[in-house]
Amino acid sequence: MKILSIETSCDDTCLSITEGSFSGKEKKFKILSEKVSSQIEIHRKWGGIYPTLAKREHQKNLPTVLKEVLESSGLLEKSSKIFKKNLKEISDLLKKIKKPEIDIIAVTKGPGLEPCLWVGINFAKTLSKCWDIPIIPVDHIESHILASLISENGKIKKIEFPALSLVVSGGHTQLVLIKNIGEYKIIGETRDDAAGECFDKTARILGLDYPGGPAIAHLAEQWKNKISTTNTQIEEIKLPRPMINQKNYDFSFSGLKTAVLYKFKKTPKSKKTKKYIQAMCFEIQQSIIDVLLKKTIRAAKNYKVKSIILGGGVASNKELREQLKKRMEEKIEGIKYYVPEKKYCTDNAVMTAITALHHLKDTEDIEELKAESNLRIGKH
């Protein structure tokens, strides 16, 4: 079963070709080719994602990225020139080439930025019509969760249920209770800014580059190394941990962003040294991590889960990955921990493919398929 997967929920144009099988005792999954065309440099000057611009870049990138994954997977002869036309002409062009050996087209239908989602969906529809290949629509949050199933040895990892997933990205921060693959319930989520959004906004306050998460993590790591090897001291920086002691499983990070803004404005310019910025980054990151971990561990205990799954773009954060593992070992015995490779934490089409492989019966009429920017996991 060969799957062509398309992911355009935000600012990365992602395609992959994979081969999967559920036959026999083992579930197999092989990546034949994958490509992510990043738009970071384009959006950097805005300090965030500009949806209309992202949509335009997806339209420009999709034919080229499709050509690359087809060639690298051996499904298209190299040096083909037919993909050099723009997206509006691709329907006629595709009719002129031999249909590749693809069984399923998987495409992200939501949640995400609606203009971006529509580009991917319309592209998938065009391919489906020209090549007569069925489409499986994929939930983007579910794909972040199932990204943890991808392994280097070609076997699909097995999760022990019930499981709890902490999904942390630029647009979402959710705790999802999982009875089985396809059976999800959101038990907690952010009431305002997502964790990734908080990283970006506080980074902007500090004058750091976009994207904010990696920028803050980098300087926080420098500060951590500095205080562990020297007696370096500055005025203590202490930020709030919003909602950390509330009994629910919801999150709120807008207050943390505001606290950083006020503290930064009140700090004299002469004190805004490199050490000060490093220390601020360390405290911002730790504030976010402390809240995420406390809520996750408490939910895992209360729901008696057997596994914890970390997913989403922020799951690539080294401290979050390591501290969650350590906290689980300290607080809960015998629980399994699943986290994707870092390259599969951020948006990619391979996670779209492995999700589609678990929903092979969920093909959708292309006339009915539409973008669902506010799609909630577990509700279809």
Per-residue pLDDT of the chain (380 residues; tens, 9 = 90+): 999 999 999 999 999 999 998 766 677 899 999 999 988 778 887 777 888 999 999 999 999 999 999 999 999 876 555 665 554 566 666 766 778 999 999 999 999 999 999 999 999 999 999 999 999 999 999 999 999 999 888 889 999 999 999 999 989 999 999 999 999 999 999 999 999 999 999 999 999 999 999 999 999 999 999 887 766 555 579 999 999 999 999 999 999 999 999 999 999 999 999 999 999 999 999 999 999 999 999 999 999 999 999 999 999 999 999 999 999 999 998 999 999 999 999 999 999 999 999 999 999 999 999 999 999 998 64
Query: Taking the CB of residue 257, how many other CB atoms lie within 10 A of it?
Result: 20
CB-based contacts of 332: which residues, under 8 Å, 6+ apart? 297, 300, 301
> What letter does residue 155 receive in the DSSP assignment?
B
Tell me the C-alpha to C-alpha distance, in Å, between residue 352 and each of 8, 15, 98, 163, 237.
11, 9, 25, 20, 41
Strands 163-168 vs 135-139: parallel, antiparallel or unpaired: unpaired
Amino acid identity for residue 348 in this structure = N
d(CA 256, CA 66): 41
Residue 304 has φ and ψ, to the nearest 5°, of 50, 50
d(CA 116, CA 248): 33
Residue 234's pLDDT is what? 58
Tokens at 342, concatenated: 């870092």
C-beta of residue 54 within 8 angstroms of C-beta of residue 11? yes
C-beta of residue 164 within 8 angstroms of C-beta of residue 177? yes
> What letter does residue 273 receive in the DSSP assignment?
-
Query: Taking the CB of residue 167, how many other CB atoms lie within 10 A of it?
Result: 26
Q: Can you list the alpha helix ranges (DSSP code H) found in the chain?
A: 40-43, 51-72, 90-94, 114-131, 140-146, 195-205, 212-229, 254-266, 274-302, 318-331, 349-357
Q: Which domains does the chain have, with CATH numbers?
A: 2-150+344-357 (3.30.420.40), 163-339 (3.30.420.40)
Residue 49's pLDDT is what? 84
Residue 181 has φ and ψ, to the nearest 5°, of -65, 125
Residue 226's pLDDT is what? 85
CA nearest neighbour of 39 among 51, 52, 54, 56: 54
* Helix, coil or strand: residue 193: coil
Single pTM value for the model: 0.93
d(CA 140, CA 54): 17
- Type and span of the H or E element at 307: strand 307-311
